[in-house]
Structure 1
Amino acid sequence: DHRRIFCWIDSFDPHEPWDPPAVFDTYTDPDYKGKRLIMPRGEPVQQWATPAEVRHIRGLYAGEAASVDHWLGRLFQTLQDHGYYDDSVIVVTADHGHPLADHDKFLKGGSRMYGELLHVPFMIRLPGGRGARRTPAIVQFHDLLPTLLDLAGLGNETSAMHGRSFLPVLKGETDTHRQAIITGYHESPTRCIRDHAWSYLQRPAGEPDELYNLLDDPRERVNLIDQHPDEARRLAACFGRVFRRKDAQVAVKGIQGKYELASGSVA
């Protein structure tokens, strides 16, 4: 009957354990004779896996991703079959990326705040379809809800939200949204700020800070913290601005009591 609908689907995969259906397990070496490693460990890979085993685990992950891709295709076909596809906003994203031993470790964590963890899959299809395009605009998850409300004609309901609609980016009117993003990990004091050119990891627990030039070194291999202290100080100042904001701390009441939260972005 073509009523308005909202549908949230959590595929869970490609989450560990990585054990893809056989039909999608086509990215591993068929002659592999090593251990059955469907659940990677978080320690440095040199401590528990050979290069062949690392390649095998990555292949299993690729098989899981291929499985999700297949079933998303079935979902989209179902939307088309029932007449919903053309008028739907479709968002495909994830709560985080996944380190695949890019910096010698698998799994998420405070010591892994690099692009492979922070730069999440994020694809949006607008009603009617406007052709595929990529944008360098920097956005964060808390920008998604205001954007969806804006698309639904409820942009005036977003003034109290921390996020900001990036609908102009989706319409192709601009490729600029935020100057930078700030993020962290709940079990670690490490925090990270990234803009288009730099990524700075501040490690208050005593480990060395890290600074990477994302234009020259997008895989974040060469720590330039000693060569560019001015850039590190510039980015570190943004942490202070965010956490000094009057609205940086809010109380959230839920079924388990009261929680103190801090969040923020660089406009």
Structure 2
Amino acid sequence: MNSKENGFHTVSQKGKTKQPNIVLIMTDQLRWDCLGYAGHPDVKTPYLDTLAAKGVVFDHAYSACPSCIAARAALHTGMEQSHHGRVGYEDNIPWDYEHTMAGELTAAGYYTQCVGKMHVHPLRNYLGFNNVELHDGYLHAARYGSVPYRESQFVADDYFYWLKEELGVSADVTDTGIDCNSWVARPWTHEEKYHPTNWVTDRSLDFLRRRDPRKPFFLMASYLRPHPPLDAPQHYFDLYKDKDLRPPFVGTWENDSYLKRDGRIFDSKTGPIDPELARQAQIGYYACITHLDHQIGRLIMALIEHEVYDDTVILFTADHGEELCDHHMFRKSRPYEGSCHIPLIVSAGKNVPLDLCPNSVCHNVTELRDIMPTLIDIAGGQIPDSVDGKSLVPLMASPDDPSRFIRPWLHGEHSYGEFSNHWIVTETDKYIWHSETGEEQYFELSEDPHELTDRIAEPAVQKRISELRGYLIRSLKGRPEQFTDGTVLISGRPYPPTLL
């Protein structure tokens, strides 16, 4: 689909010759509700609140396969998960796609730069970017002693290489003593300027300094936090350590057997069984978010100082969320809102020829696959036929217009061993099928946004559940795992994380 097929006036149809600059601010593991503009009672995010006040908030944005690699495959290819082939987490699988977000924007005349996380294979696969300054965070698979020299993070990751140049050969993000998937939290041990969050902003600002002023640019500032390690500088821990924080959401349906079994393991999928350690995880997570927000503020101020802010579209999102001890769970890959519901904001400078209603909210169900066609549409390029996502440009002028509607429901999933799951989400409700056990769940999100009450057994909603189950059967029909015969769902099927 290209922009002309939308039936709406977009940037590429207005006869404007000047292409806007595009800044994609990507975060890692940031859940949808941990932001000031989203109404969180504790977390403070003044700069992201500013973007929301000046832009359109898509408040039903999801990550259909909510872990780092699969989510980024959707972002970079515009494909849904069964087409890009990553339905779970698996390292060291080559990324070979004909069409990518950066490649198409490069073809449209943009200078394309990524700073920060890519999480692709091989590590220095540029995916069509003109240049990448890489920091993937702590990747276990890229740090083992058996990893080839050129694929080792100590060589291929620009931040780690720089950190050792600055602080000595032994310097590492693990100096804090905490792991990249852990709920353990403590402040950063070095000067703040050495923190990975600051580094992404520093290198983004340097790109603005040395860019070619004659060309439009696409800058992807791809931050690592608030993905663990939960290690913001001390100042940000101090903002939250004495606050009475809202406790994690636990409803009427959870089973605490896994928490009792694994709750003292430092990187468990349950989070800690000790309530004080759960509180410390919240403090660390919120601290990372506000630190991130302030660094995004630096980037926004630099755009203003370079006199390009008014000519720039800013899109802000995350690859997936974080359960943060909700439902006795931690990390991601789950079908619940903390894991799969993500933030999405689009804001534009006053000189950008984009029909956008500021300080507005769009309730359409959107997904990471929609970002690539949206940015290509804004750039005036041609959206490849391989793209499954939809441009969000038609929704920005009149976010409440019911005729501007891109999908009634979304299929999400994740291969996750005994916790493997599939789900159908709409603007108002969610159906979940646990593919290992066959267990089903149903939540009325419009009344119960934090999934406290599972209504799967209630007679009054059986017709609706059957309808959503039918959408899932339709989505899974013909899949190699043989999850369905076209009439019923079949549990216990082998479910590898990669379909390539």
Category of TM-score, reference length = shorter chain? 0.7 to 0.9
SS at match of 2:443: strand
The answer as to 2:393 corresponding to 1:167 is yes
Encode CA deviations 1:64-97: one digit per residue, 9 max, x unaligned. Answer: 0001000000001111111111111111111001
Question: Given the two structures, how large is their TM-score scaled by the length of structure 2?
Answer: 0.44
Structure 2 residue aligned with 1:24: 236
Which of 324, 329, 335 in structure 2 is aligned with 1:100?
A: 324
Task: Write the distance in 2 (CA, Å) between the matches of 1:15 and 1:149.
Answer: 28
The answer as to 2:337 corresponding to 1:115 is yes
SS at match of 2:323: coil
- Kept in 2, the 8 Å contact 1:198–1:214? The answer is yes
C-alpha deviation, 1:177, in angstroms: 2.4
Which of 445, 456, 467 in structure 2 is aligned with 1:234?
A: 467
Encode CA deviations 1:96-123: one digit per residue, 9 max, x unaligned. Answer: 01111111111113xx311111110111
Letter in 2 for 1:141: L
Letter in 2 for 1:215: S
Task: Write the distance in 2 (CA, Å) between the matches of 1:216 and 1:92.
Answer: 27
SS at match of 1:136: strand
Encode CA deviations 1:150-205: one digit per residue, 9 max, x unaligned. Answer: 11122x43444111112111222536321011111133531011012211110121
Change (3 A) 1:201 1:67: same
- Kept in 2, the 8 Å contact 1:27–1:59? The answer is yes
Structure 2 residue aligned with 1:132: 359
C-alpha deviation, 1:42, in angstroms: 2.8
- Kept in 1, the 8 Å contact 2:423–2:431? The answer is yes
Task: Write the distance in 1 (CA, Å) between the matches of 2:345 and 2:236.
Answer: 22
Which of 304, 308, 311 in structure 2 is aligned with 1:80?
A: 304
Structure 2 residue aligned with 1:55: 279
Which of 202, 205, 215 in structure 2 is aligned with 1:3?
A: 215
- Kept in 2, the 8 Å contact 1:14–1:61? The answer is yes
Change (3 A) 1:28 1:81: same
Task: Using the aligned pairs only, state the percent identity.
Answer: 25
Which of 438, 442, 460 in structure 2 is aligned with 1:211?
A: 442
SS at match of 2:328: coil
Structure 2 residue aligned with 1:141: 368
Across the aligned residues of Structure 1 and Structure 2, the Cα RMSD in angstroms comes to: 2.3
> How many pairs align?
236
Letter in 2 for 1:131: P
C-alpha deviation, 1:208, in angstroms: 2.2
Task: Write the distance in 2 (CA, Å) between the matches of 1:204 and 1:225.
Answer: 16
Which of 433, 444, 449 in structure 2 is aligned with 1:202?
A: 433
C-alpha deviation, 1:207, in angstroms: 5.2
Q: Which is worse superposed, 180-189 or 196-205?
A: 180-189
Task: Write the distance in 2 (CA, Å) between the matches of 1:3 and 1:44.
Answer: 48
C-alpha deviation, 1:2, in angstroms: 4.7
Task: Write the distance in 2 (CA, Å) between the matches of 1:86 and 1:98.
Answer: 33
Change (3 A) 1:214 1:74: same
Task: Write the distance in 1 (CA, Å) between the matches of 2:357 and 2:308.
Answer: 16
Structure 2 residue aligned with 1:255: none
Structure 2 residue aligned with 1:14: 226
Gaps in structure 2 of 5+ consecutive residues: 1-212, 244-264, 351-355, 480-497
Question: Given the two structures, how large is their TM-score scaled by the length of structure 1?
Answer: 0.81
Task: Write the distance in 1 (CA, Å) between the matches of 2:313 and 2:295.
Answer: 18
Change (3 A) 1:157 1:19: closer
C-alpha deviation, 1:41, in angstroms: 3.1
Task: Write the distance in 1 (CA, Å) between the matches of 2:392 and 2:266.
Answer: 36
**Runs of at least 4 residues off by over 6 Å:** none
Structure 1 residue aligned with 2:409: 180
Gaps in structure 1 of 5+ consecutive residues: 31-38, 247-258, 262-267
C-alpha deviation, 1:138, in angstroms: 0.9
C-alpha deviation, 1:40, in angstroms: 5.6
